[in-house]
Structure 1
Amino acid sequence: MLIPTPLAKNKPKEVKLFLSSTKRLSLTRTQSY
């Protein structure tokens, strides 16, 4: 997983939401398999 540095610097809140969403997707994927 790559985190864009400009987004991390400009919008940390959105980055956190993005990370949380990706974590949820990964969990759902692991559960599906």
Structure 2
Amino acid sequence: MQLGLSNKDQKKVLTAFYSLGEVCGTIWDNIV
């Protein structure tokens, strides 16, 4: 899937998604 992002930008987005997933997972664990 190309969104017109450079490789560096794609890595940033990917890292942001991973961080978001970690945070959501932690919050989910605290709720459940």
Determine which structure has greater relative contact order: mean sequence separation of CA pairs < 8 Å that are 6+ residues apart, divided by chain length: 1
Deviation (angstroms), 1:18: 0.1
Show structure 1 runs of 4+ deviating over 2 A: 4-7
Larger Rg: 2
Q: Which runs of 5+ in 2 are unaligned?
A: none
TM-score by length of 2: 0.72
Q: CA RMSD in A?
A: 1.5
TM-score, reference length from structure 1: 0.70
For 1:12, the equivalent position in structure 2 comes to: 7
> Number of paired residues?
28
